[in-house]
Amino acid sequence: MYARLVCSCLWIQSVLTLVDCNLHLKFKEFDELTPDNFTVVVKRNAVSGQLNMKIVSFFALRKYFVLHLVPGSPVLRKDFQAHMVDGDGRMTPVHVDQQIFYTGYLNGNPQHSVDAVHTDDVWIAQIHSPDDVYSIEPLTHHVPDSPATSMLIFRQRDINSSIFNGYSHENATLQPFCEEVEYPLSDSLAVEQRRHTKKNTSATINKFKQENIYNEKTDHRRVANNIFKKHLNSETHSLNLILSVYDTCEMLVIADFETYRGIGRANIFRMISILVYLYQSVDRIYRETKFDSLTNLGIAITNLFVHTEYTRLSEHYNMPNNLMTALRTLYSMSQVTNFSNYCLVHLSTQRSFGATVGIATTAARSTHNWGGGICARYAMAARNIGLSTPINAHGVNLPVFIYLLVVAHEIGHNWGAHHDPTEDYVCSPPSHRGGKYLMWPYTASGIHGNNAKFSPCSREEIAGILHEKAHVCFKPQSLVEEVCGNNIVDPQEDCDAGYLKGNPCCTSRCRFPKNAVCSPLNHPCCTNSCQIAPPTQKCFADFQDCHEDAFCSGTESHTCPETRPLPNNSTCQSLGKCWQGDCVTFCELLGATFTPARRLVDCTCEENLTTMCQHCCWNPQSKQNCTKMGGSKIDGTPCMRGVCNHGTCVSTQTNDNIFFEDRLAFSSGSDDIHQLGRMRAVLVTFVCAICGSLTLSLQRTLPITDALI
């Protein structure tokens, strides 16, 4: 849908900052959102008044989203603590409202998960839909001078791969973005140690090298058979039982001062919110992975430290004017204190390390050499550590979605995974087979389905480490969250009806009643009589434009088959047409009828309640305002005051005996994003210097180009 210029952009700031050039270099398609774009319905317990659920709805990227969100983060332990750390190391406790974090699902289907946080009128969320993963992030994360409450939504597949290191994979030599350390020291670090410190510690370094250094000549990382099976004896079954309960790696999460004033924007609550959301999403990746016979293993945050000043010590990972390499920073981190009370410790440091965005110690694969990674013993230095940076080689912020993959990758090393072999078709498949997996050693764009999954090689390696070490320091997840009553079916539960009481298919203890085999609240292919649904029952209605209904298989209740695209030219979204599973909007179709074709986008005519429900289009390249094109939108279409009904925008606020805390109504200025875009075009002078060839990347097959109306 967008023409993409491969260019460098120079701009002169006037009143506003041009954002489009920066964003289009990162994303092929996106929408900007404000708080006015969201409608929030709050449901509370009728007796206690406690918040049970929020239903959040909004329209973006030509889709209508309805999120069912339950407050609380499964990654925060009950005794979770957060602290600010000043330059002298003094710590000040910070109260964190855990009700601002959410888990949930999309459009009433528990199989399509959502992780979210809401703070300072800004939503940060990751939404798993049938066709893609959607991310909502603060616009300030990408454009620092933008309004504080503006947000950006984009699809995973619309991330430009060039953002990772500032250039495209197609035109550059692949560079590893992560370093593995079979802890703690390498020859290069030994050299740095002698060069950067007055005290000669070569004896200590040599001892580390003799005892712990990874010997590449004797390492056999990737073999076809399971190298761990010979270590698994009759105790395996009992270990599996232990790990089914002791399934959580407790972490200390640290953000240095550069990160606090960078992506945290010097706001302690924003910093904590981003970190908790990030680790909540990482935890989901791990718990949804089956490591051999082990399931539902993940992470939790016990403590969170945020440096709000530079540390007034030399040779510290948080010191000012820090020019240490990633490896040197990791070593500095290892000398701070004994981290043995934690399973793992991870540092976010907003410093550029060139092509490297992370480094971590890798768990040893033998109980005779515990090395680094999870549960590692302290021996002259902390070994259960890792670090990552949320910026690329040019100092540009990575999307939060990409950064959480970086963190998940580094923790993967801590859990025992090495990099996936580059020539292995099974563990490093091509893009048409799902793309590279999470532990791929080179820059991953995040746009392929496998990018957030562990490869068979990684799962095998991690399984061996978990069997050998996890029982030593992992803790029960039950200490992290209330198991029953959060609408999420935990491993120890049959079902979870959440705030709904008297459910015939699920008891208050989250167990099936007699003769029940499933619950329709938690299982998409379950009948109201608590039985597996027949193949005639729809399990996923056509809320997703341009996809057919899905029907149950008739053999199991937990999953719903994927939906199939509707035939091309099927009607969608009020006079739109389907094309290859996507809805081409009314305005896009209209633009294609002009000679030459014009790129028109939907907009809202906000003169009155009637025009709000009329088809209106706007050409971003023209100076004209949003223009009425005639015809009314179909009933039920979201509008600025509620929904369209017989051509008029009507409020949908009702009171059906459910407690409403608030419902964020759309204001008359919700279309300010379009106005802002036009103002920027006038108020900001910019020059695009063509660096290479001009490339046109159309997201649609339709011949839509830029022209004035």
Q: Residues 456, 586: one domain? A: no
Report how far residue 3's alpha carbon sits from residue 61's, in angstroms, rounded to the nearest whole number.
Answer: 17
Same domain for 333 and 447? Answer: yes
Pull the structure tokens for residue 159.
Answer: 């991330």
The string of pLDDT tens digits covering residues 412-435 is: 999 999 999 888 889 988 766 778
Do the domain assignments include residue 705?
no
What average pLDDT does the segment 110-115 reach? 85
Q: Is 534 contained in some domain? A: no
pLDDT tens sequence across 196-225: 333 333 444 344 333 333 332 333 333 323
Is the pLDDT reported for residue 4 higher than 70?
no
Question: Does one domain contain both 575 and 457?
Answer: no
Q: What is the DSSP string of 390-408?
A: SB-TTSPBPPHHHHHHHHH
Over residues 310-324, the mean pLDDT reads 91
Q: What is the CATH number of the domain that holds 452?
A: 3.40.390.10
Flag whether 472 is in a domain. yes
Distances (CA, A) of 152 to 29, 140, 366, 680: 10, 9, 46, 17
Residue ranges in 415-467 assigned as alpha helix (H): 456-465
Closest alpha carbon to 535 in 555, 519, 516, 521: 555
Which three-class secondary structure state does DSSP give residue 555? Answer: coil
Query: What residues are labeled active site?
Result: 410
DSSP state letters, 451-465: GGS--HHHHHHHHHH
pLDDT at position 228, please? 34
CA-wise closest residue to 327 among 202, 447, 422, 193: 193
Instruction: Report how many domains make up the chain.
Output: 2
Asked if residue 169 belongs to a known ligand binding site, the reply is: no
Indicate if 476 and 576 belong to the same structural domain: no
**Whether residues 456 and 583 fall in one domain:** no
Whole-angstrom CA distances from 143 to 16, 138, 227, 395, 478 are: 11, 9, 48, 13, 40
Q: Residues 6 or more apart from 93 whose CB is under 8 A from it?
A: 81, 82, 83
Instruction: Give the mean pLDDT of 288-308.
Output: 93
Domain presence at residue 7 = no
Instruction: Report the SS3 class of residue 239.
Output: helix
Q: Tell me the β-bridge partners of 41.
A: 55
Task: Please give the structure tokens belonging to residue 232.
Answer: 């698994």
Residues 6+ apart with CB under 8 A from 506: 494, 495, 496, 497, 512, 513, 516, 519, 521, 522
Residue 620's domain spans which residues?
Answer: 571-690
Closest CA to 619 of 606, 609, 629: 629
Instruction: Tell whether pTM > 0.75.
Output: no
Token digits for 233? 């004896």
User: Residue 345 has what pLDDT?
Assistant: 96
Residue 585 shares a structural domain with residue 445: no
What is the model's pLDDT at position 650?
A: 80
Dihedral pair phi/psi, residue 546, rounded to 5°: 70, 25
Annotated ligand binding at 419? The verdict is yes
Task: Give residue 390's pLDDT.
Answer: 94
| Same domain, residue pair 474 and 580 | no
Is pLDDT larger for residue 639 or for residue 407?
A: 407
Q: How many CB atoms lie within 10 A of CB 93?
A: 9
Q: Between residues 47 and 579, which one has the greater pLDDT?
A: 579
Q: How confident is the model at residue 111 (pLDDT cuts 50, 70, 90)?
A: confident
Radius of gyration for the alpha carbons in the chain, expressed in angstroms and rounded: 26
d(CA 679, CA 684): 8
Angle at 499 between CA 496 and CA 503, to 5 degrees: 60
d(CA 285, CA 462): 14
Q: For 523-566, write each residue's pLDDT tens digit.
A: 888 998 999 999 998 876 444 567 787 889 899 888 777 778 88
Q: Mention every residue, 6+ apart, whose C-beta is less than 8 A from residue 679.
A: 15, 16
Predicted pLDDT at 286 = 97
pLDDT of residue 161: 61
Average pLDDT rounded to a whole number, residues 587-591: 85
Q: What is the pLDDT of residue 545?
A: 63
Q: Is residue 238 part of a domain?
A: no
Q: How confident is the model at residue 156 (pLDDT cuts 50, 70, 90)?
A: confident
95: tokens are 């109260």
Average pLDDT estimate for 180-207:
40
Residue 513 lies in a domain: no
- The answer to the question of whether 615 is labelled as a binding residue is no
Q: Are residues 444 and 579 in the same domain?
A: no
Beta carbons of 427 and 412 less than 8 angstroms apart: no
CA angle 691–692–694, rounded 5-degree value: 110
If pLDDT is split at 50, 70 and 90, which confidence band does 659 have? very low
280 falls within a domain: yes
Instruction: Give the residue among 512, 515, 419 at the shortest CA–CA distance from 180.
Output: 419
Nearest Cα neighbor of 642 from 626, 653, 634, 631 is: 653
Instruction: Judge if the upstream peptide bond of residue 596 is cis by omega within 30 degrees of 0.
Output: yes
Q: How many CA atoms lie within 13 A of 138 on its CB side?
A: 25
Q: Would you say residue 402 lies in a domain?
A: yes
